[in-house]
Structure 1
Amino acid sequence: MKPTVKGQGEQVFQEVLEIRRHFHQHPELSGEEYETSKKVQETLDSYGIPYKTGYAKTGVLGVIEGGKPGKTVALRADMDALPIEEENTHEFVSKVTGKMHACGHDAHTAMLLGAGKILNEMKDEIPGKVLLVFQPSEEITPIGGAKPMMEDGVFDEHQPDAIFAQHVWPDLPVGQIGALPGPMMGASDRFKIVIEGAGGHASMPHQTVDAIIVANAVMTNLQTIVSRNVDPVDSAVLTIGKIEGGSRYNVIADKVVIEGTIRTYKPKTKEMVKNRFHQIVNGVTEAMDAKATIEYYDGYPATVNDPTWAEHIQQTAVSMYGTEATPEVEPSLGGEDFSRFLLKYPGAYFWLGTALPGVEKQKPLHDPEFKIDENALSYGTEFMVQVAIDALYKLQKGE
């Protein structure tokens, strides 16, 4: 009989809650997750789960050996926080100035630890292995932590036959799971443009090349890529997030720096947008007698779910919580480093509903007031367990 774990999330809820709040109060940025990693290791030790460390510096791999022969499934959680000053007022706000778990990675790590505890206590019933992957540096595109972990041999000894990850999602109520076959999250490229003109006195513009005017023309024309080059039935976003230029009200600027991001789903669309981006930036600046230096970073690829494993997520959610637990969802153009695991191993990425009840407008991810309904922790913990168990039984049958 395949074991079921519905309700076991409630049994470890208080422990998972305390771990989540500990991480929330002590956030660490990408590549700095040393204390977070230490806490993960101490918790795994207390559960009796063996592990190895040092992947991408702070990454941890826990290994739960089932009591029966079988395949291998991996569950992944990211650990890093963001350089954001928290503006919440609850009792467990960040104690570190300018750093905050504004993307829910504190909850991801805590839930994976809770899932590990449940799995380890029932390991005699498990046919195969479950890998617990605690990943650093998810937020630092284009480097990330998934690729460095694999380069450091995180799966050299234990190769996953399927891999899964979840992300807290404020657009879904607690108790709902969002999953799709195919694209789930977008490719996330970054760029920086330095426009150099010729400065001068504000009253004598004819003697200058106004870098601000050039930057304005560049930004305006870049927006035509999405509106006039991308197929209307396809998706792409080009956003300017930062612009710096000028020194004084009566001085024409000689330099402007523009930074932004490009998001797409399809590789063909990504390449087209990237090519048009370079053509427009170079063409506009040259036409206006300015110079442009472009730094373009190919970021995370799109997060594309294997259709079989996306269906597996949906079926597991329905079996645990009913048909209302799997609403129709649309993919997001947010970037996700888990995409690099999915390039190597089949699996799926899904969203865990964490919306605050009674709140009409939820604060989005990366907001300084981002919060989750912590009741979702019990759902996310036990759901990860059931996903892993069901996957091992599915693999055992060769489905």
Structure 2
Amino acid sequence: MERFTITKDENNFTFLQEDITSAIEFRRLLHQYPELSGEEYQTTLHIKEVLEAHQIPYESVLDTGVTAIIEGELPGATIALRADIDALPITEQNDVSYKSKHVGVMHACGHDAHTAMMLAVCKILKRHQHLINGRVIIVFQPSEEDAPIGGAGPMLEAGVFDTYKPEAIFAQHVWPGLELGKFGVMAGPIMGNSDRFKITVKGKGGHAAQPHTTVDPVIVTNQIITAIQSIVSRNVDPFDPAVITIGQINGGFAPNVIPDVVELKGSMRSLSDASRQLMKTRLLNISNEISDAHGAEVDVEIKTGYPATVNDPEWASVVRNVIQESYGSTSVPTLRPSLAGEDFSKFLLEYPGVYYWLGIDEDEPSYPLHHPKFDVNEKAFEFGIDILLKLTISALDQLNN
């Protein structure tokens, strides 16, 4: 059964129901056997097996992950598509036939779906090489969840695009909270800067009955936590989204002992570079000044993570037009950016392109990303595959003309 047809030069560029069915089956295979960042060996092997079965050439620049190359029979531009392949350290709570068999590891961010849809795109493009003017590089990227290092940066450093440099690059991400058949496309920032920090407060411990003989790091840490929340509310421009979150506090070992050390860890997220730098500076100043006031020592470690994911405005317009031509003007609603981090941003620092969202909600809201009950609505596959294909052809045509 033919699903969708792209008319190109009086030829039909089609994909079939069996392409969707095969993609869903592959996604369920990956879902049952998820692998953490940097450990995606079997996932990579499964991808290579499919590529080899369809005589699609590929190369590897890291231990995991793979890059497929589709050469059109006609000369033209080069573009790239990217799918992330790694899973998360989460124990799945869904009761489904394809539930994760790896306890403590789960595809809770949809990377199994991204990989499966992109493999379907590979196979369909291979089938229609005679209609392709140019070259398509498909990057199956490892370690997206491994912030602050990630997988995009190491792939770039290892020369993933040394042989063929793309003139544009695109990525698609399933998105709970967005209706099935809808897409999230934005010009400019769509995902935030994401940095992590660790603050270690060193005091002088002692007996709980004699606090006057100690320098209590618990009190110091408490004041630091309260004060750094004023960074967003009192220092950052209220029209420039930002958030600071404390996610972990460690200190003490008995209720009647004032500890020597308390450690806290958290994250800072923002959209603009100005707010990103301001938050780092204020975090350092506040931590040092409060600690000094109490006679404590402090060590502040800030790990710069993924930069904001910033879409090229012209290419965002192309993506929006491709979607709306297929699904109508309401298929790309006005949305706000997310402050979650995404290492596709590193590709976008080097090459113009677009990262966009694929809606999966139907009837009831989906569980959020990174939740132990998150699951992908597989009805989204036909929309995702369709737009990836149409975007590929449209982008090549745009560049070639």
2:151 maps to 145
| Among 105, 122, 130, the residue aligned to 1:124 | 130
Match of 1:287 among 286, 293, 317: 293
Is 1:394 the equivalent of 2:379?
Answer: no
Unpaired stretches in structure 1, ≥5 consecutive residues? none
Cα distance in structure 2, aligned partners of 1:210 and 1:136: 43
Task: Give the aligned residue type for 1:43.
Answer: V
- In 2, the alpha carbon distance for the partners of 1:251 and 1:316 equals 64
TM-superposed deviation, 1:6: 8.8
Query: Structure 1 residues 344 and 218 mapped into 2: Cα distance closer, same or farther (>3 Å)?
Result: same
In the alignment, what sits opposite 1:358?
Answer: 363
Q: Confirm or deny that 1:51 pairs with 2:51.
A: no
Using the TM superposition, give the Cα deviation of residue 5 of structure 1 relative to its aligned residue in structure 2, in angstroms.
7.9
2:4 is matched with which residue? Answer: none
- TM-score in terms of structure 1 length: 0.96
Distance 1:172 1:7 in 2: 27
- Residue 87 (structure 1) shift: 1.1
Q: What is the aligned counterpart of 1:383 among 380, 387, 390?
A: 387
Residue correspondences, number? 394
Partner of 2:3: none
- Residue identity in the other structure for 1:301: P
What TM-score, normalized by structure 2, do the two folds share? 0.96
- Alignment pair present for 1:248 and 2:283: no
Question: Which of 306, 310, 330 does residue 324 from structure 1 map onto?
Answer: 330
**2:360 alignment partner, SS class:** strand
Shift of 1:160: 0.3
* Deviating more after overlay: 341-350 vs 142-151: 142-151
Following superposition, the deviation at residue 248 of structure 1 comes to 1.2
Cα distance in structure 2, aligned partners of 1:22 and 1:213: 50
1:315 and 1:9 map into 2 onto residues whose CA distance is 23
Q: What is aligned with 2:210?
A: 204
What letter corresponds to residue 52 of structure 1 in structure 2? E
Say whether the 8 Å CA contact 1:241–1:259 is kept in structure 2: yes
In the TM superposition, 1:81-96 aligns within 5 A as 81-96=87-102
Amino acid at match of 1:26: Y
State how far apart, in whole Å, the 1-side matches of 2:12 and 2:23 are. Answer: 16
For residues 158-186 of structure 1, what are the alpha-carbon distances to aligned partners after superposition, in whole Å with 9 as ceiling and x for unaligned?
A: 11010000111001111111110000100
Partner of 1:106: 112
- Which of 64, 74, 86 does residue 70 from structure 2 map onto? 64
Identity of aligned residues (%): 49
For the pair 1:33 / 2:44, whether they are aligned, the reply is no
Deviations 1:127-155 (A, max 9, x none): 10011100011111111111111111110
Q: Is the CA contact 1:199–1:208 (under 8 Å) kept in the aligned structure 2?
A: yes
For 2:126, the aligned partner's letter is: N
* Aligned residue runs from structure 1 range 206-355, under 5 A: 206-355=212-361
State the structure with bigger RCO (CA 8 A, min sep 6), 1 or 2: 1
Give the partner amino acid of 2:117.
Answer: M
SS of aligned partner of 1:166: strand
1-side partners of 2:62 and 2:343: how far apart? 13
Tell me how far 1:10 sits from its aligned partner.
Answer: 3.6
* Preserved contact between residue 184 and residue 331 of structure 1 (Cα < 8 Å): yes
Q: Within the alignment, does 1:159 sit opposite 2:165 as a pair?
A: yes
Cα distance, 1:376–1:6 mapped onto 2, change above 3 Å? farther
Contact 1:59/1:149 (<8 A) preserved: no
Query: How far did 1:56 drift?
Result: 2.8
Instruction: Between 321-330 and 156-165, report the one with greater CA deviation.
Output: 321-330
- Give the 4+ runs in structure 1 shifted more than 6 A: 3-7
What code does the residue aligned with 1:71 have? Answer: A
Does the residue aligned with 1:12 lie in a helix, a strand or coil?
helix
Alpha-carbon contact 1:5-1:385 (below 8 Å) kept? no
State the one-letter code of the partner of 1:51: Y
Cα shift at 1:47 = 1.6
**Take 1:102 and 1:96, find their aligned partners in 2: how far apart are those partners?**
13
Structure 2 counterpart of 1:2, which letter?
Answer: K
**What SS is found at the alignment partner of 1:41?**
helix
**1:5/1:386 contact within 8 Å kept:** no
Task: Please say if residues 199 and 264 of structure 2, whose CA atoms lie closer than 8 Å, have aligned partners that are also in contact.
Answer: yes
Instruction: Report what 2:375 is aligned to.
Output: 371
Q: Aligned partners of 1:181 and 1:211: how far apart in 2?
A: 45
Contact 2:199 2:263 in 1 (8 A): yes
What secondary structure does 1:87 align onto? Answer: coil
RMSD: 1.4
Alignment partner of 2:8: what SS?
A: coil
